[in-house]
Structure 1
């Protein structure tokens, strides 16, 4: 069992073993050099427990040291399986005070076990924090208000630990016959956040390892293996290939992309620059948050192993394989003849060096484009380059002739040996003007790049992708293979409600099954509740989140009248997104402070545990239809009649409503019904009728009101 923990024994065997012998077992199973402080802590824990556990010496019970919560890389100091109760013990040897971060840490362990550890689902879990020098102990027990059999964290000094365990056993009337068989080898079914998952991938786990293991339904590893086979085949046959991967929101497309990038870039733990891959995303906040999360984690682990490593060195290493798409594009633009002549993009030999295999291409053979549907139309990129871009080199190209998709294929086509592009495609998720959808990629392959082999998800024919015209667009292309393995059908984001994205889709499209889908989501203990008060929404979020679970407020970028509700919009700078997502509850820049709201631009691809979606007057329900409005910045909402813009505005709500892993509260304000002394509306930009229809519609689907 050493792979799951560093030491496991019955209480009887543990009490009869020499303490140095227990320490030796911990050492033998520990990977890495145990520091003196680690030794001292372990010795303290062993001494305390060999005193504490004497009353239960003859019982069928187990003590487990350093239990690793599988695949999330967290270790619980000690798990005690006694009389059918799971005690999570977190020791702070030599400490007198209980710190908030320590209480949250032990609560997190209890929640992780409850939600994701199969043999803990229906058990009593008691998180206990033990600052060993504390002189008092919690005397009152408060089982969780969530009816999930988790005690609120208990705090005890070492002296009182035995009494505390006796009191819990009495409180639960736990009998001697209560045992938990095979707990240590329980299946584990986690759904980590994208940030946790990226960290675990970086530690050489597989996606399926770190995502939910109802393995018959989850196909991430099958998709990854299919892509890796195409890469290998393209390399061996010296050909160029493109794969289109589709998936429902939260299905793990980004994880698939990151995993392919990491597996190609790090072969057997060594950097393989010859055959490397780069993960590219136009989603600046996602790239910034993932890069910073991985860099912080990498640096912390290196320092723990005694290596000297700065945070900036870690950031550089991570940036090798996660990059912002515009910088990659601008790097290639710097190599072309400028201005472009006769509408043909060509390399300028004076600006680029020709290498034997690379040709004029970049070093990577494999480029993974996340959210490929968001690549820019020809019009948008041409206008952008005419002005001179805002990224990197501010290059001006006055008459650029290609769409972004076309140029990205052209960039990989510069390689003279082989290349693979992997496009990760979300359906119905274009949220910015000038995002081309998938059509541009297919048009480019049909016209300029007929020698490229196309591997495409059979779901790309659905209406969310290229308006359902994929078959028609590809019918004359003889290099197309449709593959079921390139579609991810199961949402991993919400481990509580796989039907959440289907409900959101139906609710926004007024489909008749919306109310039934809501019932299904609700039956899985995934709350979606309604309120008209931001105070109520904030209280609900604070009450739901335990341990370090993350909360936040979300609004669309078109929302305009949030200031009266004491909500501030997070500024677009990517550093703000990093702080919003990664700082803890003690930092006012954190999402948990519920002051700054993020927009669909900042949260696409990322997620929270619990979210409040603040619904403004930009999208209103009237008589079975959505009506769209944009604020003029002063005193009036103007109707938005442009169909393209309406699509982006609807998609914004689709993105926001699928960000929460464990529950959503939707706040639709009451507006301002007060009149001035002269009888006019006090605030004509927030009239109740702007909001009431939407509220009544959601209520009619059965959503609970707070």
Structure 2
């Protein structure tokens, strides 16, 4: 980034500025093509012409190639004036104003609105400059606090537009132009953006500067890297358990280990979630191919070693007896590893027969290294969602049979009551000889829920059936990032209205909500199909109807666990209902033509955990749609859905009001995470 006064910019040599921009770009591991150099020169010439002979701008601030860490991108130019902030996105040589370019410019402005502390009291105006286009008639947006709609300009019309805009901007409390650059800008990247940034050699500190009470994200990352270094130095086999509430940054820490210091040791990220494999591989490949101007096939091939499907990794090494190339294995959602009984049962009809639990096999595979190896287990508290998932207890059983492994974990792993999950025995790690505890291995501050860090605690109370606790959280820490509606069409309209810029929306539903098809939601994202999942999470509607924001295909817990959306429409199903006069949730399974209540503790816990996953996927807001039901259909009893609605309302959730604007970010410092 280059920052200078407008007066200094006008006096500077253009070629010197281009050279400085090229140097900055090279530091980010990208090449400088002649086309990029020409684009910078064109941008600087356009800016110089727009700001020349305008003495009033001399002390304004111009920031070129301003970093947007959340997206791993940079704004072409930010012009900071005493009345507002102008976000300038240049498309050199462009002859038309494209929808995706407008969305990009608007998204930059929204990013500053959400995460830059000096932008809270002033307008932020995105301007798309397609240098050779012909702008049409312009209607001035409301120049209020926050991001406005996008203004169009060409190289020829930009000077007049900037002068007119300056006259239209309200003369309120002056913005401190000199201090703006140094004010806190703390973006929170989504998991896909974060993975792409880490993959291109940037550390976690570069992409997720946390607020003061969230600094354990960096502490946890440091603890993982220290354990890897110690294992190498001491020649020890070491396993770490990193725990955390949903959205606290576990996957981010794991990816940093793989793409950071673990890269030289041949680290790999293993997950049993095929959707996560598909999305991360494709996102990394697209980003790498674009940045290096390389071929997509080569980029995809390079990502396969970094992001691997755990079942394929397991079966290969169980079947071959080879020593793995990787010395560091990061296992995502490790609580979902199969128990011994389930693994042996599942292996009967498979080419590779399993004779132990998944934890046992993985410990033995990495233990083939004669000197040292590290396993980093990322544990999602309360996120076991399928039969046969052994949780921490299964890892403990496997480690009791392999005492040579050094074990590091948070204190709460021995006493799960500290983490609020004491009721589920799968979430307890037994006492192990030589186990070392470290507080920094537990992440308890959410970084996903941007608008309210108490969202996860509210979800826990709701799923526990603790209405007084949920209502107390809503009263003390509202407004919650949850809304409630009984109208599916209203849900879709709201999601379309609130998703500005490049923000992404999508519909989620439980895989057990089989009767939602009666409401037209029978199209389910096939989580095993790589192309379908990648299109849903990475592409954009209306250009691609397969994208999530087309809002016609629902993703289940198997498609979205470990991933996220900006705005979520959660379609509540008949598999998780309440009955009037009863205090508990009633988890159910649809078999044949009827619902059957799930009485087994593990099955009931898995259903609650499914809704925990679904309720914690949104970065900004979740709108819950509860169907009306049908009195003529015994599988869709209106009274059951009415009871769900009444309970959620009593827990403090507000009804969706279609006339309201997108929910305001609460003050005083809402989004500095």
Q: TM-score, normalised by structure 1?
A: 0.86
Do the aligned partners of 1:78 and 1:90 also contact (CA within 8 Å) in 2? Answer: yes
Cα deviation for residue 473 of structure 1 reads: 6.0
| Residue matched to 2:273 | 283
Contact (CA 8 Å) 1:299, 1:314: kept in 2 or not? Answer: yes
Matched with 2:626 is 668
CA separation of 1:471/1:699 partners in 2, compared to 1, >3 Å: closer, same or farther? closer
Superposed, 1:6-21 pairs within 5 Å as 7-21=2-16
Is the CA contact (8 Å cut-off) linking 1:224 and 1:256 kept in structure 2?
A: yes
Question: In the TM superposition, what whole-angstrom CA distance separates every residue of 1:121-175 from its partner, at most 9, and x where no partner exists?
Answer: 333100011222333355322238xx75211111123333233223333333337
Q: How does 1:320-335 map to 2 (within 5 A)?
A: 320-335=305-320
Q: Is 1:366 aligned with 2:322?
A: no
Distance across 1 between alignment mates of 2:517 and 2:107: 34
Equivalent residue in structure 2 for 1:592, among 528, 542, 549: 549
Q: Deviations over 1:165-194 (max 9, x none)?
A: 233333333379654223223332111110
Q: Quick check: which has more Rg, 1 or 2?
A: 1
CA-CA distance at 1:57 after TM superposition: 2.0
Match of 2:198 in 1: 201
Asked whether the equivalents of residues 78 and 87 of structure 2 are also in contact (C-alpha less than 8 Å), the reply is: yes
1:442–1:25 Cα change, 3 Å = closer
> Matched residues in 2 for 1:90 and 1:468: separation?
52
3-state SS of paired residue (2:642):
helix
Which residue is 2:283 aligned to? 293
Q: Which residue of 33, 36, 46 corresponds with 1:35? A: 33
Distance 1:175 1:500, change over 3 A: closer
CA distance in 1: counterparts of 2:428 and 2:172, whole angstroms? 68
Q: Which residue of 2 aligns with 1:502?
A: 457
TM-superposed deviation, 1:520: 4.7
Tell me, what secondary structure is at the counterpart of 1:671? coil
Equivalent residue for 2:651?
701
- Distance in 2 (alpha carbons) for counterparts of 1:365 and 1:178: 52
C-alpha separation between the residues in 1 aligned to 2:191 and 2:527?
21
Q: Is the 8 A contact 1:370 1:423 kept in 2?
A: yes
Relative distance call for 1:466 and 1:625 in structure 2 (3 A) is closer
**Is contact 1:438–1:465 with CA below 8 Å preserved after alignment?**
no
Per-residue deviation, residues 604-655 of structure 1 (Å, max 9, x unmatched): 000000001100111111232111222234x332333232211111110010
What stretches of structure 2 of length at least 5 have no aligned partner? 657-673
- How far apart in 2 are the matches of 1:649 and 1:473? 22
1:28 offset after TM fit, Å? Answer: 5.1
Q: Counterpart in 1 of 2:338?
A: 376
- SS of the residue aligned with 1:506? helix
* Secondary structure at 1:638 match in 2: strand
Q: Does 1:417 align with 2:371?
A: yes
Does the 8 A contact of 1:143 with 1:149 survive in 2?
A: no
- The correspondence for 1:579, drawn from 527, 530, 535, is 535
Match of 2:639 among 689, 693, 697: 689
Secondary structure class of the residue paired with 1:592: helix
Q: Residue 103 of structure 1 corresponds to which residue in structure 2?
A: 102
Instruction: Return the match for 2:412 from 449, 453, 459.
Output: 459
The Cα offsets for residues 328-379 of structure 1, whole Å up to 9 and x where unpaired, read as: 11012213xxxxxxxxxxxxxxxx5xxxxxxx53122222211111000112
Query: How has the CA–CA distance of structure 1 residues 117 and 239 changed in structure 2, closer, same or farther, with 3 Å as cutoff?
Result: same
Paired position in structure 1 for 2:504: 550
**RMSD value, Cα:** 2.3
Give unpaired runs (5+ residues) of structure 1: 267-271, 304-308, 336-351, 353-359, 389-393, 674-680
How far does residue 528 in structure 1 lie from its aligned partner after superposition? 1.1
Whether 1:628 aligns to 2:582 is: no
Q: Does 1:649 align with 2:607?
A: yes
C-alpha distance in structure 2 between counterparts of 1:98 and 1:520, whole Å: 46
Distance 1:44 1:276, change over 3 A: closer
Greater relative contact order (Cα 8 A, min sep 6): structure 1 or 2? Answer: 2
The CA distance in 2 between the partners of 1:374 and 1:426, in whole Å, is: 9
Structure-2 residue corresponding to 1:408: 362
Distance 1:40 1:483, change over 3 A: closer
Q: Would you say 1:160 and 2:119 are equivalent positions?
A: no
Distance 1:178 1:469, change over 3 A: closer
- 8 Å contact kept, 1:437–1:465: no
Deviation for aligned residue 1:21: 4.9
- C-alpha deviation, 1:471, in angstroms: 11
The superposition leaves residues 87-113 of structure 1 with CA deviations (integer Å, 9 ceiling, x where unpaired) of 011122332321100100100110111
Question: Are the aligned partners of 2:83 and 2:169 in contact in 1 as well (CA < 8 Å)?
Answer: no
CA distance in 2, matches of 1:178, 1:374: 51
Distance 1:137 1:187 in 2: 37
SS at match of 2:160: helix
| 1:532 aligned partner | 486
Question: Whole-Å Cα distance in 2 between the matches of residues 71 and 672 of structure 1?
Answer: 44
Spell out, residue by residue over 1:452-476, the C-alpha distance to the aligned partner (whole angstroms, 9 max, x if none): 221111121214667576999644x
Q: Which residue of 2 aligns with 1:608?
A: 565
How many Å separate the matches in 2 of 1:466 and 1:328? 32
- Per-residue deviation at 1:286? 0.7
Shift in CA distance, 44/137, structure 1 to aligned 2, threshold 3 Å: farther
Aligned to 2:300: 315
Name the SS for the 1:185 alignment partner: coil
Aligned in 2, Cα 1:415/1:545: closer, same or farther, shift over 3 Å?
Answer: same
Q: Is the 8 A contact 2:395 2:429 kept in 1?
A: no
CA distance in 1, matches of 2:245, 2:329: 22
Q: Give the Cα separation in 2 of the matches to 1:162 and 1:443.
A: 70
Aligned length: 643
Query: 1:685 offset after TM fit, Å?
Result: 2.4
Change (3 A) 1:557 1:57: same
Mark the CA change 1:562 to 1:468 in structure 2 (over 3 Å): closer, same or farther.
Answer: closer
Give the structure 2 partner of residue 387 of structure 1.
Answer: 349
CA gap of 1:620–1:49, structure 2 versus 1, over 3 A, is: same
436, 446, 449: which one aligns with 1:491 = 446
Q: Distance in 2 between matches of 1:178 and 1:540?
A: 33
The 5 A counterparts of 1:217-232 are: 217-232=214-229
Mapped contact 2:195–2:255 kept (Cα < 8 A): yes
Contact 1:84 1:180 in 2 (8 A): no
